[in-house]
Structures are given as C-alpha cells and as structure tokens.
Amino acid sequence: MMKVGAPKNMIMIDYRQAQKMVLGQARTFGKEHLPLELAFGRVLAEPIRADRDYPPFNRATMDGYALRYSDLAQGIRRFSIAETVFAGDRPTRFIQKGECYKIMTGAAVPGEADTVIRREDMTEAEKEVELNTVAPGSWRPFLNIARQGEDLQSGDSVIDRPCRCEPATMGLLATLGQAMVTVACLPRIALLTTGNEVVAAGAPVSGVQIRNSNRWMLEAALKKSGAGITAYAHVSDNPDRLRESLESVLGHDILILTGGVSAGEADYVPGVLEGLGVKRLFHKMAIRPGKPIWCGVAPSGGMVFALPGNPFSCLVNFVLLIGPYLDACWGLEPPEPLGLPLDAPRARRTPLDEFFPVRLHGSPARLTPVSLNGSGDIRLGRQANALALHPAGSSDLSEGAEVSCYSFV
C-alpha cells in the first residue's frame, strides 16, 4: 500500500480569497446549438437582437372600438361599425369619417384608426356605437394602443450577455423566433464519495455505518446550478483504490470528492491527488463548517474540489465555491449574498467566519436561525433554505442584526 497522507501545516485562507482563486481558474466548456425546447435551465451563450419591431404592429390593448382621434376632436360621438377586427385579422376596408372598427385585445389596429375607446365607455346598438355620456374625456391619440416598435425596434440588442434560460427568457426567445439557440456546454463532472462507513441509501446498513447523503445532495445542488454528474463512484478509504478511481476520472472538467481531506489517519485524498499531479490551489479555508476543503487543478486543466465528508460542510463549500465556479465558467455573474435581518439572537461559536443554516421567509423577509448539532447533524434538510454568515471578528449577533445570506434552494 502506498504511503500518502494529508499535507500538514497548511495555512487556512480567507473564503473570499479562496473564491478569487477558484474564479480565477474559470474556463469555458464550449458552446452548442440546441432546439429551444432543450434550452430551459441552460446558459444562453449568444447575443440576441430583435428580429422585428415589438410590438410588431399597433396593438389594441383593450376590447373596444378603434376610430380616428380627429373625429373625436371634431365632436363626433356616434360611429357606425364598419367591421369587426379579431386578433390575427386584417380588415377588408378603410374607415371613413364617423366610422369605427369593433376591435379585440391583441388585434392589429388598422392604419387609419389611432384611438381605441374601451367597450365599457360606449354603447352599441344595431351596427352603431355611441360614447356614453359618463365616458371619460381623457381621449388622446393612441389611447389603448401599444404602438409598433415602442418596446423594441428591429435590430435592437435584447440580450447582450450570458444568461440562464429561465421561464421568462424562454418566452422571450420564442417571441423573437429563436427556435434554435446557442448555449454553453455542460461540464463533465465526476463525483467520488469516500469512506468505509458510508453505504448507498438502499443498501443494508450496519450499526456502525451511515448512509451516503452527499452523493444525492451534491447531485441535486449541481442540477439546481444547471449541471449534472457524468461519472460517479464510491471509494473505500484505501489510497490504492482511491488512486485507481481518480485516474479514471481525472480528465473531467470538474472533479468533486467528499471525505478524507481532514487530518485523520484515513484521510488520503490530498496526498493521492498531489501524487497524481493535481496542483494544489489551497488546503483549508478559515470558515466553519467546511474548513478542511482542498482545491486544485488537474493536469488536464480540470478543477478539483475535495470537500470534507460532513453534509453541511459539503453544502457550505458548494455554495461558496462550486456554484460560483460553474457560473463563472458560463460567464454568469456570481450570485450576490442578500443582507437580511435575523429574527433571533445568535451566540458566536468560533473566531472564524461561520456559516449557519437559516430559514429565509416572511414579509418583510427575515432569517430564522435553524439550530444544528454541528455539521454532521442530519436535520439540516428539514427547515433550512439558506446559509447565513456570522462574520469573523463580530461578537454575538442580536435579534434584528443584518447578516449576509445565500439561498441554497
């Protein structure tokens, strides 16, 4: 068996410095062309311009009667209905003085009409319509008409930086006729969990074993970030097995490991990674939980994140480093923490920057600390939906204190 162990005497770095180092390694995963129906959740990687004016025609924004403003200005109050124009229709004839179109919301207002009076402001009888006496006199040209090009003009830039295809973006892309879109490729991500005591969720579990939660938590976190796992293995605490498993996945764009990075005698991960030529960026961040993280760059250029085994530590490391790294690789701005008040006091537990679970809720929004019995407490997933920061150097936090928080749902 090879003799490798965790490097000793590593200096802990500030998590902001660690973030800078990790983001400094961001690299593109390439681009691909996809049909729009596959684009949801992906990152758009091409600038988009308006293919025509928006609205593309003078659009009626109310059901009513389209007429000539000049008729109103001349005191005409009674109009004969020349035609009914539904959305998608073109009228067959022009209107003359004293005539109007009956028009529906979403229909193109024919050229000679320049005002739409709401249906409820007129009374219709036998192909004629008359303004109600109580109708408001605030008429003006283009009343109740969204004018062609008033939102965007043909050729205008609509999207000029990478953005995630969220529901509203999907609608926008469809509106602009983008049936095929260019999106950033997904990285190939390998996940290795380690630990002799860790067994799969469906497998028999002995009295001294625990179930593998990191696998599913990290896979879900990756999916939420718009990525996924392309290779997965669980490895025992054996440096030879670890080396073999690592050799087969070291060419991935991102490699995530959990467990085996602390100072225990079975914590082989840093030594084996370095033995395989992975260049260390840092080992240990000055935070709690998640301090033992080891981060490096593989010979292929892939990013390696070796996280401690405790589930809450993994989540903190993911939120602080892996999520932002993915975003940076895709050209997205890293998420900014929200500043929100605590609705209960919180005692300081460590001189380091400490991340603690909270429930972000309410109106006005606030944070309720969720008590955990250390980073190995499995109750994390029961109530918490965000991480909050108890900053290094601050004393106990009082009720109402504003803290930075990162949503993880």
Would you say 197 or 274 has its CB closer to ligand AMP? 197
| Nearest distance, CB of residue 221 and ligand AMP, angstroms | 13
Residue 195 lies near Mg ion (rule: CB under 5 A): yes
Would you say 365 or 378 has its CB closer to ligand AMP? 378
Would you say 89 or 197 has its CB closer to ligand AMP? 197
Q: How far is residue 246's CA from residue 262's CA, in Å, rounded to a whole number? A: 18
Residue 239 lies near ligand AMP (rule: CB under 6 A): no
Would you say 195 or 296 has its CB closer to ligand AMP? 195
Closest residue to ligand AMP, Cβ-based?
Answer: 309
Q: How far is residue 277's CA from residue 299's CA, in Å, rounded to a whole number? A: 6
Cβ count near 195 (within 10 Å): 19
Residue 245 lies near ligand AMP (rule: CB under 6 A): no
Q: Where are the alpha helices (DSSP H) in 32-119?
A: 69-73
| Nearest distance, CB of residue 266 and Mg ion, angstroms | 6
Would you say 172 or 210 has its CB closer to ligand AMP? 210
Residue 219 lies near ligand AMP (rule: CB under 6 A): no
- Would you call 67 helix, strand, or coil by DSSP? strand
| Nearest distance, CB of residue 259 and Mg ion, angstroms | 4
| Nearest distance, CB of residue 262 and Mg ion, angstroms | 8
Measured distance between the N- and C-terminal CA atoms of the chain, rounded to whole angstroms: 42
Task: Give 13's DSSP letter.
Answer: B
Convert 122-141 into a string of H (helix), E (strand) and C (coil). EEEECCEEEECCCCCCCCCC
| Nearest distance, CB of residue 227 and ligand AMP, angstroms | 19
Query: Residue from 58, 115, 213, 225 that binds ligand AMP (CB under 6 A)?
Result: 213
Distance of CA 118 to the CA centre of its chain: 40
Would you say 215 or 366 has its CB closer to ligand AMP? 215
Interface segment toward ligand AMP; rule CB under 6 A; list 64-72, 74-82, 210-218, 344-352: 210-218
Residue 58 lies near ligand AMP (rule: CB under 6 A): no
Query: Residue from 149, 264, 275, 331 that binds ligand AMP (CB under 6 A)?
Result: 264
| Nearest distance, CB of residue 193 and ligand AMP, angstroms | 4
Q: Which residues contact 336 (CB under 8 A, 6 or more apart)?
A: none
Q: Which residue has the tokens 């109310």?
A: 62
Residue 395 structure tokens: 């004393």
Residue 259 lies near Mg ion (rule: CB under 5 A): yes
Residue 86 structure tokens: 């539904």
CB neighbour class for 301 (10 Å; exposed up to 12, middle 13-18, buried from 19)? exposed
Would you say 245 or 310 has its CB closer to ligand AMP? 310
Which of the choices Mg ion, ligand AMP, none does residue 117 contact, using the CB cut-off of 5 to 8 A by kind? none
Q: Can you spell out the DSSP letters for 15-27?
A: HHHHHHHHHTT--
Query: Residue from 58, 115, 178, 193 that binds ligand AMP (CB under 6 A)?
Result: 193
Residue 64 lies near Mg ion (rule: CB under 5 A): no
Q: Which residues contact 50 (CB under 8 A, 6 or more apart)?
A: 152, 153, 154, 155, 156, 158, 176
Q: Can you spell out the DSSP letters for 306-364?
A: EE-SSHHHHHHHIIIIIHHHHHHHHTPPPPPPEEEEBSS-B----SSEEEEEEEEETTT
Using CB under 6 A as the criterion, what x/- string covers residues 280-309 for binding ligand AMP? ----------------------------xx
Q: Are 241 and 247 within 8 A, CB to CB? A: no
Interface segment toward Mg ion; rule CB under 5 A; list 56-64, 141-149, 206-214, 304-312: 304-312
Which of the choices Mg ion, ligand AMP, none does residue 311 contact, using the CB cut-off of 5 to 8 A by kind? ligand AMP
Binding site residues, ligand AMP, CB under 6 A: 193, 195, 197-198, 210, 212-215, 258-260, 262, 264, 308-311, 376
